[in-house]
Chains A and B, each alone.
Chain A
Amino acid sequence: MNGSGEMRLILLFIFASALICRAEDKASGRWEGLVQIPDRELEVVVDLAKAEDGQWQGSIIVPGLNLPGTQLVNIGVQDSDASFGIKTARGLDAVFKGHFNADGTFSGDFSQAGNRASFTLKKIGAPQVETPLRSTPVAKEIEGEWKGEYQIFGTPRHVTLKLTNGTKNSATAELVVVGKKVNNLPVDLVTQEGDLVTIQSNQTGIGYEGRFNKESNEIKGTFMQGPMELPLVLRKSK
């Protein structure tokens, strides 16, 4: 490669870096604006930022849908375009697809449930991306298989909860509820804070919150299924 070829490569690198920086500068920040759903404008606040690993991360707040800081999914930023999605436990599945405009706004289409509306957002400050809750490890005596039973509409439901500490300094859980059918519920979050153990299944809207009692070797708490809160005592399987 001769000198002029090297020079061209360097210039190309500088240009590409500038483009990347520009896209990053454009997208990163706290954005606020409206989704123009006919007869129902939705105010949204979107935070976008680049993480240390170079991946885009973001969260969204929608006061009109009782949606506090919620992680964005499928974030893509390229040149002057960006897209990202929302997927919630309540079944909200929506996509923003837009363009960064010369006037500093970000506008485009919002689609949800097969419907489409336009949106326009304006940058109002630095990003405040909501960090996702992460599972914690559980104490050695809490690891293992727990069983219990709760009643709903006069019918018993048998619960088996298996807690295991993983390699990433966090616990995982298998949750099986047996009624008329056997339901293997996906668990998204396992936490232990003191004697309080929390299990969360986002997709099903099911959760459990209980306190571990070392003496009786049981977890006494509440099984939460939608709006219903049902007492559930879990005991260690022999």
Chain B
Amino acid sequence: MNSATKLERTGWRPIDFRAGGFVIAVLLAFFLDPRSRAQSMFRGDPAHSGVYAGEGPRQFHRVKWKFPTGNRIVSSPVIDNKKIYFGSDDGNVYAIDAESGREIWRRSTKGPVPSTPAVAAGIVYFASYDGNFYALNAETGALKWKFATGGERRFEAKGLHGMQPKNQTIADPFDIYLSSPVVADGMVYFGSGDGNLYALDAATGDLRWKFKTGDVVHASPAFVNGVVFVGSWDSHFYAVDAKTGKEKWRFHGGEDPLIHNQVGFQSSPAVIDGTVYTGCRDAQVYALDASTGKEKWRFDNALSWVITSPAVTRGKVFFATSDSSLYHMADAATGKSLVRQQGKAYMFSSPAIAGDVAIIGVLNGTLEARDANTGELLWDYQTDASKRNSGWVLTAERKFNQPLLFFDNWREAPLLAQDRQVSVGSIFSSPLIENGVVYFGSTDGFLYALE
């Protein structure tokens, strides 16, 4: 990939060569060194390629450090200027030293933070379940501004997943993430539980526009060539003009009026070489023309959700499924299956690709490293919570022990089952790979650095 293509793909403007030589050199270094910007937002870049610089570790040596927080970590870590930023369901956003794992600062909000921060021009952006969107000084954690959305909520439906009573509206326990922001061209874009896609001035937090969808937006928008791409729980996928907030096109995914199980975009898109790749809870992975929204191909996963956000590189699409627990690699042009490996448990975490290594988190509390070309398992790391297997959440083979989890659809039983299910240190967080070190969060409350 040449640098010009890279700039185009990530949506960054061309450099102004009328500026001074030093400034040009600094800017060039910034733009051309992927580490300086590429890993400071969800999925690595505004296009959400899921691709990281360098080679991922083919062997596991040790836990470099682990950092405790007060609650589950669903947010994914990002790195900027040797600091790791992430949110925790304990309500804090943390900045920690990437080398030592020591806390630099933390900033509290009034709600869980299952949103992945974006860092740009010294500002950390993220959403909290308190209904606010925050901008903090990346060095100190001091508040620069905050923006109140219409309020957060989870996707909900009557008789969801067959829960009883059928006429009762039930919040979806699997609507686990908050939208993670993308920063581009001086604007910050994110989705909200109030159904809007927001565009704010990145420096001031002023509202530039908001775009209303039919339901909760917890997927994370991608930005390419002046267009923002995002899916909604209303089962539509949208392309919106980044400057005006006007809809360019929309694509309709599957519907499930019976139990609302096979509906909605929870996966976040990757937009590469003029194609949008996104998973959907209707069990499809879609490839859409980025200009028109026309479907190029779809990959059917036989009723198994695709929550992971696809990673795309070298003409291949990497994704994984939930119930069927399959790890896939498909041809990016045709959707033809190239690799299919059976995993052990649900995957919501999105694969991170570095060189020939793909790393993904699994909800059984295991991080898996696979050969990116063959899908074969290179190594895995099991959290202590997963090893403890309290209450036999897992079988001896580390699969979910379904008969002991989901045995009742009455009252709060399915919600408690989901709660119990993630007690094994589930990895919803999407891994970050930097200089051979893998960073990820777990529902055991720890952020891990493995090398």
Contact = CB atoms under 8 A, between A and B. Distances in A.
Band of interface residues on B: 20 to 34
Nearest to B303: A153
Given A114-B396, A226-B162, A227-B409, A65 B391 contact: no
B390 A39 contact: yes
Contact of B403 (A92, A152, A226, A228): A92
Contact of B391 (A39, A91, A93): A39
A115 B396 contact: yes
Given A65-B404, A65-B407, A153 B262 contact: yes
Given A66-B407, A88-B403, A228-B162, A115 B392 contact: yes
B106 interface: no
A40 interface: yes
A91 B161 CA distance: 19
Interface string B400-428: 01111001111001000000000000000
B259 interface: yes
Contacts of B254: 153-154
Contacts of B409: 227
Contacts of B408: 66
Contacts of B404: 40, 65, 92, 112-113
B391 A37 contact: yes
B403 A91 contact: yes
Contacts of B161: 227
B258 A228 contact: yes
Contact of B402 (A66, A91, A152, A154): A91
Interface in A86-128: 88, 90-93, 112-115, 117
Contacts of A90: 402-403, 407
Contact of A40 (B255, B390, B399): B390
A194 interface: no
Nearest to A180: B302
Contact of A113 (B163, B262, B392, B407): B392
Interface in B362-390: 388-390
Contacts of B410: 66
A38 B395 contact: no
Nearest to A37: B392
Pick the most buried of A38, A92, A113: most chain B CB atoms within 10 A of its CB.
A113
A68 to B, nearest CB: 12
B397 interface: yes
Band of interface residues on A: 20 to 34
A114 B162 contact: no
B139 interface: no
A38 B390 contact: yes
Contact of B407 (A38, A67, A153, A230): A67
B165 to A, nearest CB: 12
Contacts of A228: 162, 258-259
A236 to B, nearest CB: 28
Contacts of A92: 403-404, 407
A149 to B, nearest CB: 16
Interface string A41-78: 00000000000000000000000011100000000000
Nearest to B388: A38
B103 interface: no
Nearest to A152: B258
A76 to B, nearest CB: 23
Contacts of A67: 407
Interface in B250-286: 254-256, 258-259, 262
Contact of A112 (B162, B258, B392): B392
Interface string A209-238: 000000000000000001110100000000
Contacts of A226: 162
A97 B151 CA distance: 54
B391 A113 contact: no
Pick the most buried of A65, A114, A227: most chain B CB atoms within 10 A of its CB.
A227
A212 B254 CA distance: 35
Nearest to B403: A92
Given A66-B408, A91-B403, A113 B259 contact: no
Interface string A167-188: 0000000000000000000000
B390 A113 contact: no
Contacts of B388: 38
B162 A113 contact: no
A228 B259 CA distance: 7
Interface of A: 37-40, 65-67, 88, 90-93, 112-115, 117, 152-154, 226-228, 230
- 7 tightest Cβ-Cβ pairs between the two chains A and B: A227-B162, A114-B396, A40-B391, A113-B395, A92-B403, A66-B408, A39-B390
20 contacts: A37-B392, A38-B391, A38-B392, A40-B390, A65-B403, A66-B410, A67-B407, A91-B402, A92-B407, A93-B403, A113-B392, A113-B399, A114-B395, A114-B396, A115-B396, A115-B401, A153-B256, A154-B255, A227-B159, A228-B258
Given A227-B162, A228-B162, 9 more contacts: A65-B407, A66-B407, A91-B402, A91-B403, A113-B395, A115-B401, A152-B258, A153-B303, A230-B258
